[in-house]
Amino acid sequence: MAESAASDAPSAAVPGPVRDGPPAGARQQGKIPIETLVRSVAIVGTLFYVLGFLTTNAYLYKLGVSDFSLLRTRFILTGVLTLAPLALALIGGIYAALDATLYGSHSGLTTRAYLWILADIALPFALYFTLFSVVAENDVVTSARDAALLSAVCTVIVLALLLSLALYRKSERRPLSHLAYRGQPVTYDRFTERFSVPNAVVETMIFAVAGVVLFLAYVGLFGQYFYPRLPEQLGGGRPRMAQILVTGDATPAVRELGLDVTENAPLSPPVQLLWEGEESYVIRLPRPNNGAVVQIARGLVGGVVTGQVLTRSQADDQP
């Protein structure tokens, strides 16, 4: 009987070890590893740096000089400044396309659709105008002209991008065939046989290269026209009035460049300081020298006076 009762009694389950948290090797949902975050920030910073480097050298190319010094964190801010107008225009273009889809009809766009599209276009222009007039402190007429030109340039690029994406999707990744050959597929036998790349991928690569060329054209235009209209504090390169203090031994050489200095008066008259590099200064001489652009090595310069212009008598009176 005792053995029967013992066999009928329920056996007590032995609890296993209790685990705190997720099992080993499982990734936590919603959390980004610190390595991935650091890598992403580094990639974005590098892209802005390269973009700022290209923008600055496009400006220097217009002046006829070059500066390929790489260790300048200012290029990151310049890259952000260059990309920001295009990003705003792209956001406005996407919203305009959505408004045309939502408020349009089969017979065409409605009045409400036109109003929303106009607002999507006017908002970037207002932001550009604020940037040039309020932040950069340019006059109203110049700010309106620059904002209108920048809006037109960004609108053309955004339209080209959106229409290219729509065409790429409609043509089933064969946009060139759809445009040039009325939808008949084009073969790239030599390229395909040599590199084993499908024809659709070849057309995609051609479209991608065209997009890169268009973007580089925008960078060059921004660097040559808009970059010198924005202050240095925003990442721009607007010239400022300055006076160059030439070292004593460099006076004869600097005089040959056209700068009006002497050994007794080494402080130059006010000139436009166009660029301050790690190895040289780029200045524009006053009118008697026809506004010539001169690049002076840093070793020839003892100092730079900005802001208040000093007369030679004031410079001589200072201890």
Residue 13, domain member (yes or no): no
Asked whether the predicted pLDDT for residue 102 surpasses 70, the reply is yes
Domain boundary among 213, 233, 253: 233
Domain boundary among 200, 233, 266: 233
Going by pLDDT thresholds of 50, 70 and 90, the confidence category of residue 1 is very low
How much is the pLDDT for 37? 85
How much is the pLDDT for 319? 45
Residue 92, domain member (yes or no): yes
Asked whether the predicted pLDDT for residue 41 surpasses 70, the reply is yes
User: What gap in Å lies between CA 269 and CA 256, rounded to an integer?
Assistant: 15
pTM to 2 decimal places: 0.76
Asked whether the predicted pLDDT for residue 289 surpasses 90, the reply is no
How much is the pLDDT for 307? 75
Burial 35-69 (b: 16+ CB within 10 A, else e): eeeeeeeeeeeeebbebbbbbbbbbbeebebebee
How much is the pLDDT for 138? 87
Residue 5, domain member (yes or no): no
Residues 6+ apart with CB under 8 A from 120: 92, 93, 95, 96, 99
Residue 17, domain member (yes or no): no
Cβ-contact 288, 258 below 8 angstroms: no
How much is the pLDDT for 143? 92
The CB density around residue 218, as the number of other CB atoms within 10 Å, is 19
How much is the pLDDT for 178? 55
Asked whether the predicted pLDDT for residue 145 surpasses 60, the reply is yes
Residue 100, domain member (yes or no): yes
Asked whether the predicted pLDDT for residue 189 surpasses 60, the reply is no
How much is the pLDDT for 198? 64
Do 178 and 258 belong to one domain? no
Do 162 and 308 belong to one domain? no
- For 194, 210, 218, the CA distances from 174, given in Å and listed in that order, are 20, 15, 26
Domain count, the chain: 2
pLDDT in tens, 198-252: 666 666 777 788 889 999 999 999 999 999 999 988 899 999 999 999 988 888 8
How much is the pLDDT for 190? 56
Do 222 and 251 belong to one domain? no
User: What gap in Å lies between CA 160 and CA 167, rounded to an integer?
Assistant: 10
Do 222 and 74 belong to one domain? yes
How much is the pLDDT for 107? 67
Asked whether the predicted pLDDT for residue 122 surpasses 70, the reply is yes
Of 265 and 190, the structure prediction assigns the larger pLDDT to: 265
Domain boundary among 233, 267, 292: 233
Domain that holds residue 299: 239-317
Do 252 and 107 belong to one domain? no
Residue that has been written with the tokens 């550009």 in this structure:
128
In the chain, % of residues over pLDDT 70: 72
How confident is the model over 164-169, as a mean pLDDT? 76
Do 282 and 252 belong to one domain? yes
The CB density around residue 19, as the number of other CB atoms within 10 Å, is 8
Residue 194, domain member (yes or no): yes
pLDDT in tens, 291-307: 789 989 888 998 898 87
How much is the pLDDT for 2? 47
Do 213 and 258 belong to one domain? no
